[in-house]
Structure 1
Amino acid sequence: MAIPPGFLDELRNRVSVSEIVGKRVKLTKKGREHSGLCPFHNEKSPSFTVNDDKGFYHCFGCGAHGSALDFLINTEGLTFPEAVERLALQAGMDVPQDTPEQRERSEKRNTLYDVMEHATLYYERALKMPEGKIGLQYLKNRGLSENTIKHFRLGYSPNIKGGLVAALKREGIDERLMIEAGLLIQPDDRARSPYERFRERVMFPITDRRGKVIAFGGRLLGDGKPKYLNSPDTPLFHKGTVLYGLAQARESAHKKEEIIVTEGYMDVIALAQGGFPNAVAPLGTALTEDQIQLLWRMSRRPTLCFDGDAAGQRAAARGAERALPHLKPGFGLKFVHLPEGEDPDSLIKKHGSDAMQTLLDKAIPLSELLWRMESEGINLDTAEDRAYLEDQLKKHAFQIEDESVKSHFLAALKDRIWNEIRAKKDSKPFQRKRDWRAEKKNHRTHLEAKSSLNTKINAQNWRETLLLAAVILHPNIIDEVGERLGLLNFMSDSLDNLRQEVLKTLDGDLGLDSSALQDHLVKNGFSGPLKSLLGKFHAPNGGKFIGHETFLHPDRPIDVVLRGWDHTFTLYMNQRDLATEFKELKRRLELEMTPQALSQFQAHQKLMGMVDTDEDETGGYSFKLNEEDLFD
């Protein structure tokens, strides 16, 4: 079938090449490009590059070259229509059917770009004319330079009846196209002539990521409402999928790997003039899912910068809530609140760009924002308030769809609660009375807890051994597990140092097999830890590999290895969360032996034992080991 060119342009605009290629190739960002090992021929040194700005991939080794569509066709054997459907599904678009009406709409869409360009030129010229003096004076009073006005193509819509219509008609543009582009409004009474949507407003052209004008925002000067007015949705413009200033910010954002999200047009422009050209803004609404995905293509952790008033607080909360379901390993949001009464423009004018940079450097992560939102007014001295706080934080965490991120979120929030409680109790003396019977009973319980905890620590150490050994024996799983392995901190220093070296090595050379990786580790001083680690999986004579059904075995298929790794990681994270709570319950029991505290402690101890029972779901491994096998 024939796909309308306008649809393909929009599809390429919504889906980045690196996003598609990155699902099959481990990409490393270098400046404005990504690089990796070519999937079309065998190579050990990366010669394959992806450029999102230009919309293509290229291999300097074998000459492979193409777009995101070409990549799907060449790597998955899809036909062109199938590749279009795959990308459209990912972008949330419906593939148009090949009909004369749809071809006509596609042609009209391309024509609408010309309509918007001519309208932009009209508004730019009007700003320099006598009738635009009030608009130009407003921009000058806001401190904007001629270069800034020109860079953002700012203009003015004068109060001249029929002025825009006459100017565009001289370019051969029909009124019907002006209506479809959102420039004119057709009254319900068709007998009346269409009239201009924007009058006596400073005009802010809104562009797509390529810099083509697709809509306008207009600020009214003087009394009247609405103060700001945007174009309606049109064939070119869908408010929830566009960010103001993206075309101007994109190059800087890619270079810095940082992007700032602020509240309005003037905030973006003031930041750009103040030395922060990597700023964008949503169009009068809270961030949408599409806009968050756009931001993540340019930065793993965009910074949301809001005014310090109540409206700014609400905007931050809405942004956090909208992002939570879509969080994935390595991607998040940061938040900055300006001092009350300040916006980016006023802050930079009063205190300079350094003051703005200082605030950006102190941006807090999403998890900290949620903590501050929910903990305000909470009394951690009471069990009821602590339970309420934990419940509220869990509600946020359970919105996260990615299981790995959700697990870490829950662990971090629980740790934060216990740390806050501990800090409060450590800050004031705690008096308690004990008789000799309670002292004796408490001591016995402490010894039992210590023995139980040591057993769990042994199991956790063994899981760390399994997680790292699997990567060393099967380096090709690093794409799937590298992010999660990088977030851990092993209990054994020698094992943790080995973990860090393995990650660093595989990040630098993705072509290493197990043998080459082990040779590298030996040459770089890790012979002892490596021998100790892998020795746990070989017979004493150094020969036959133990446990032919284990997921670690070199001959096991990669899907079995990954299933075993995922299962072990889940057990490890669950036990770590439980261990944190276990330590806190034990501490409470030591402070005050009460029936309630003892009951909670024993119930949690039983729960830990249940979690630590590993069924053989991943190829026949178990944790029935002698303690001497676990530690050197």
Structure 2
Amino acid sequence: NTNPKYINSPESSFFQKRYLLYNLKSAKEAARKKNNLLICEGYMDVITLYQYGIQSIVAPLGTAFTEDQLNLAWQYSYKPTIMFDGDSAGLRASYKAAIMSLPFLTPKKFLQFVLLPNNLDPDNYLNTYSFDKLVKLLKKPIPLVKFIFKHSSNTLVLDNADDKIIFDKYLDDIVFKIKDQKVKYFYKNEFKNLFFNKLRGSNKSDNYSLSLPNPSSLIDKQILSFIAVILNHQTIREDVIRLLKNANFLDKKHHQLITYLENAKLANQTSMQIINNCKDSGYRQILNKSLENQITQLFPFASNKYNSQQAKLDIEDSVKNINTRLLNLKKINKSLDTFVSEANSLNWDELQKINQEIQSGEEKD
């Protein structure tokens, strides 16, 4: 039952907001001098940032950003910067402005964007981080082409020919909106290059490095402790190898090492014999690493002085716990990914709606 922060008055014949930008009178001199105009989402953003010394800053007057306001901004800067709020509504408004700008682009009229993270508006960002960090964001704006491509390409998986064709056609439709032939030529090439690089990147196979993993995390050290048990406890080697073969947390290199140990004849060999008989230098490094003092200090069962049967029980519990933790973590990450993607990203249907809204506005005009 709280009252709204402020109430937007309706347009009238005397006050037509779609043609005006809040604070332009105070901002235009600085904007012309610096050839830079920052466009925020609301009045309060302008007031807050102006108090921090950013003078060339404006905002729409409580309405959606319009073509008339964009053309007005271009009178004071050839490349204004749009920095709307970092929530889904702000991203949608930014993307709509990007598509809306295309027919009006010329070699002297461009547009760029700054994205605020984590659903933050400028005031929240300043309270969460600092003004210095905001300035760093402002110094690295996203060019129009890259902004459009990034947020449109994320709406489709692009893992099959149909989606690739649909998205390629969407890019063609976007380029078709550009009237200036020089801009159209370079933007088309840039879109196609970005598309090609994205497809090439998604098709790259994971080239696994055969270098020794750095045991910086606890799970890395735990894996080394399991390998140490294989070296130090002859009577349970086969049991531990079988446990690790069925585990879900080994990376490719560790899995290959366990397979090697499984196939090697280890029955009567000491730990040093196993290491010396190993021809693979990468495997030898891991085996030696597993016998370092820090591993046995963290995990006493890895020591050759520990009871073998108790070591087996300890490893069974450890493997079970790690598998459970990783499964739960995957579930949490999946839920978070879904939440984040739905909270502040566009989807394919949204892109179509934005195009329809812009086209509808053009027909009304």
- 1:262 and 1:414 mapped to 2: Cα distance? 30
Give the letter for the 1:376 counterpart.
Answer: N
Aligned match for 2:94, one of 294, 316, 324: 316
Classify 1:379/1:347 alpha carbon distance in 2 versus 1 (closer, same or farther; 3 Å). Answer: closer
Give the letter for the 2:53 counterpart.
Answer: G
Give the equivalent residue in structure 2 for 1:228: 7
| Higher RCO (Cα < 8 Å, 6 or more apart) | 2
Aligned 1:357-372 pairs, distance under 5 A? 357-372=135-150
Give the equivalent residue in structure 1 for 2:133: 355
Classify 1:420/1:426 alpha carbon distance in 2 versus 1 (closer, same or farther; 3 Å). Answer: same
2:38 and 2:83 in contact (8 A); partners too: yes
Q: CA RMSD in A?
A: 2.0
More helix by share: 2
Q: Deviations over 1:579-609 (max 9, x none)?
A: xxxxxxxxxxxxxxxxxxxxxxxxxxxxxxx
2:8 and 2:62 in contact (8 A); partners too: no
SS at match of 2:163: helix
Runs of 4+ with deviation above 6 angstroms: none
2:84 and 2:115 in contact (8 A); partners too: yes
SS at match of 2:123: helix
1:260 and 1:304 in contact (8 A); partners too: yes
2:37 and 2:73 in contact (8 A); partners too: yes
Q: Does residue 400 of structure 1 match 2:146?
A: no
- 2:124 and 2:195 mapped to 1: Cα distance? 37
Shift of 1:367: 1.0
1:275 and 1:353 in contact (8 A); partners too: no
Aligned 1:235-246 pairs, distance under 5 A? 235=14, 237-246=15-24
Unpaired stretches in structure 1, ≥5 consecutive residues: 1-221, 430-632
Give the equivalent residue in structure 2 for 1:255: 33
- 2:68 and 2:24 mapped to 1: Cα distance? 13
Classify 1:285/1:321 alpha carbon distance in 2 versus 1 (closer, same or farther; 3 Å). Answer: farther
Shift of 1:342: 2.0
- 2:205 and 2:139 mapped to 1: Cα distance? 30
- 1:352 and 1:313 mapped to 2: Cα distance? 22
- 2:9 and 2:43 mapped to 1: Cα distance? 11
1:324 and 1:399 in contact (8 A); partners too: yes
Shift of 1:377: 4.2
Q: Percent identity?
A: 38
Give the letter for the 2:83 counterpart.
Answer: C
Q: Deviations over 1:99-151 (max 9, x none)?
A: xxxxxxxxxxxxxxxxxxxxxxxxxxxxxxxxxxxxxxxxxxxxxxxxxxxxx
Shift of 1:226: 8.6
1:286 and 1:318 in contact (8 A); partners too: no
Give the letter for the 2:19 counterpart.
Answer: T
Q: How many residues matched?
A: 207
- 1:234 and 1:379 mapped to 2: Cα distance? 48
Give the letter for the 1:271 counterpart.
Answer: L
2:46 and 2:57 in contact (8 A); partners too: yes
Aligned 1:579-618 pairs, distance under 5 A? none
Shift of 1:417: 1.4
- 1:224 and 1:377 mapped to 2: Cα distance? 37
- 1:324 and 1:267 mapped to 2: Cα distance? 26
Classify 1:417/1:341 alpha carbon distance in 2 versus 1 (closer, same or farther; 3 Å). Answer: closer
Shift of 1:225: 5.6
SS at match of 2:89: helix
Shift of 1:286: 2.1
Shift of 1:428: 4.1
Give the letter for the 2:189 counterpart.
Answer: A
SS at match of 2:114: strand
Unpaired stretches in structure 2, ≥5 consecutive residues: 208-365
Give the equivalent residue in structure 2 for 1:380: 158
Give the equivalent residue in structure 2 for 1:293: 71
Give the equivalent residue in structure 1 for 2:51: 273
Aligned match for 2:103, one of 314, 321, 325: 325
Q: Does residue 418 of structure 1 match 2:179?
A: no
- TM-score, length of structure 1 as denominator length: 0.31
Shift of 1:381: 3.6
